Structure 1
Amino acid sequence: MSEQTALADLEREIATPGGGMDGLRLVAAPFVPEVRLHLAEDAILWWARMEAAAGRSLPPPYWASVWAGGQALARHLLDHPELAAGRRVLDLASGSGLVAIAAALAGAERVTANDVDPYAVAAVTANARANRVELAVTGGDLLDGPVHADLLLAGDVLYDAGLAARVLPFLQRAADRGVEVLVGDPDRGHLPADRLDRVASYPVPTTEPSVDSPVRRVHVLRPR
């Protein structure tokens, strides 16, 4: 699916009135109320409806929920705007775009939001408009290339072992080349504790699917 098709689909969804559980709503992020996002009331139901309409499989809509790691990282940026102000920022696996939008609100010179899912690229575009910020939004896999940024942000990207095995070396290579790297992670079990230092810790309300607690302790970390 092209990014243009995904954006057209998402814009249609946003423009469609209705308050069903399988729809999208523009709401404030619970831990970062300065940012509003188009989120699904129930992402699984939204996904099922969209797949039925498309007649084919679609990527899981990670962008349609606001994840704890991203919320903590966005909160940290807005509470410490000097981290992003005047800098070139890359938000890896941006999802809804929450972290990228927070970086823009904190005064970044340029923010690039990246995600491999065309629907996520569309969601970031729509959410940037809703928050009146300007982002560069790109698709594609960046993990084998260099980082052209001063600050690299990765919120809740280490959610399985296979992905962590690719992301962690990418983050370390960037840090070794002088890029500041910040990771937001709710301790999903894929972090090498001996290679990251804790910068901050937050109790974050959880809204993502399949969680067993209303609050998660999330750490903001940087590579050593």
Structure 2
Amino acid sequence: MGPHLRAGRRVSRPIHDPIAFIRTETRLRPVPLVPEIRLHVADEAVPIWHRTEEELGEMGLPPPFWAFAWAGGQALARHVLDHPDAVKGKRVLDFASGSGLVGIAAMKAGAAQVTCADIDPFARAAIALNGAENGVAVAAADTDLIGRDDGWETVLAGDIAYERDLSERVFAWLFALAARGAGVLVGDPGRTYLPRDRLERLAEYAVPVTRELEDMEIKRTCVWRPR
């Protein structure tokens, strides 16, 4: 899970075998803060970014956010595993799922059903692959869900506050879901557009990350819920 909400551009040609691409370009590793879960992750950001553009036949694409365990997702997954009552027996949405890390954690914590939503087709392939590697079944959705309410009982979102306009849209939606009774949890490592004045901090974690993606190797990351 990470900064991967951009609507993005449509690819210029179909992806022939995203599962094979992911298996070739990543390695299966335990997540640093959540070693109970293993993900297909890339060794380096720039090479897989370039190879993704080559595979899709289009340059200037956003980075392959699905190929890394972002700080917000790691903290949120750790919190869910340590506090399973947040998801146990519930219908859960993992929004902007990326690798599927948080959704996988929710299933391991006893969720009745998890939908992992991400608009990136590679992410949806990674979600399916990572779910299978961890012995859980999660559904992958490609629809832009912002503004929708499908009756989820818990909504989980990591690293969603890095662009102002998008953050405003997403949090307006999340606050509306919380107001009607959904449990909403957000993992965030200090992104600029997090509306802290409307959130309550539940937990804080020191999350190992790569310097290729962040400004430090250990990122102070918090889990929040609407006040």
- After TM superposition, the score normalised by the length of structure 1 is 0.90
Distance 1:150 1:29 in 2: 26
User: For residue 12 of structure 1, what is the amino acid of its counterpart?
Assistant: A
Distance 2:95 2:127 in 1: 12
Deviation at 1:163, TM superposition (A): 1.6
- Is the CA contact (8 Å cut-off) linking 1:205 and 1:215 kept in structure 2? yes
Cα RMSD of the aligned pairs, angstroms, is 1.7
User: For residue 21 of structure 2, what is the amino acid of its counterpart?
Assistant: E
Deviation at 1:208, TM superposition (A): 6.7
- Is the CA contact (8 Å cut-off) linking 2:210 and 2:216 kept in structure 1? no
- Is the CA contact (8 Å cut-off) linking 2:22 and 2:126 kept in structure 1? no
TM alignment of 1:199-218, pairs within 5 A: 199-207=202-210, 209-218=212-221
Q: Quickly say closer, same or farther: Cα 1:194–1:25, change in 2 above 3 A.
A: same
**Matched residue SS, 2:17:** helix
Asked if 1:11 corresponds to 2:19, the answer is yes
Query: Which one of 102, 120, 134 corresponds to residue 137 of structure 2?
Result: 134
- Aligned equivalent of 2:49: 47
Distance 2:111 2:55 in 1: 39
TM alignment of 1:54-73, pairs within 5 A: 54-57=56-59, 58-73=61-76
User: For residue 44 of structure 2, what is the amino acid of its counterpart?
Assistant: D
- Is the CA contact (8 Å cut-off) linking 2:208 and 2:218 kept in structure 1? yes
Q: Quickly say closer, same or farther: Cα 1:186–1:37, change in 2 above 3 A.
A: same
Deviation at 1:13, TM superposition (A): 2.3
Count of residue pairs the alignment pairs up? 215
Deviation at 1:117, TM superposition (A): 1.1
**Matched residue SS, 1:153:** strand
Asked if 1:25 corresponds to 2:27, the answer is yes
- Aligned equivalent of 1:154: 157
Deviation at 1:178, TM superposition (A): 0.4
User: For residue 177 of structure 2, what is the amino acid of its counterpart?
Assistant: A
Distance 2:174 2:132 in 1: 29
Deviation at 1:144, TM superposition (A): 2.2
Distance 1:15 1:89 in 2: 27
- Aligned equivalent of 1:122: 125
**Matched residue SS, 2:35:** strand
Return 5+ residue gaps in structure 2 as ranges: 1-9
- Is the CA contact (8 Å cut-off) linking 1:72 and 1:204 kept in structure 2? yes
**Matched residue SS, 2:221:** strand
Asked if 1:90 corresponds to 2:93, the answer is yes
Distance 1:110 1:76 in 2: 18
- Is the CA contact (8 Å cut-off) linking 1:73 and 1:99 kept in structure 2? yes
- Is the CA contact (8 Å cut-off) linking 1:67 and 1:208 kept in structure 2? no
- Is the CA contact (8 Å cut-off) linking 2:71 and 2:159 kept in structure 1? yes
Structure 1 residues 104-113 or 52-61, which shifts more?
Answer: 52-61
Query: Which one of 74, 79, 100 corresponds to residue 77 of structure 2?
Result: 74
Deviations 1:47-90 (A, max 9, x none): 20232244313442111111000000000011111211111110
Q: Which runs of 4+ in 1 moved over 2 A?
A: 13-16, 52-55, 57-60, 207-210
- Aligned equivalent of 2:186: 183
Structure 1 residues 36-45 or 89-98, which shifts more?
Answer: 36-45
- Is the CA contact (8 Å cut-off) linking 2:201 and 2:225 kept in structure 1? yes
**Matched residue SS, 2:143:** coil
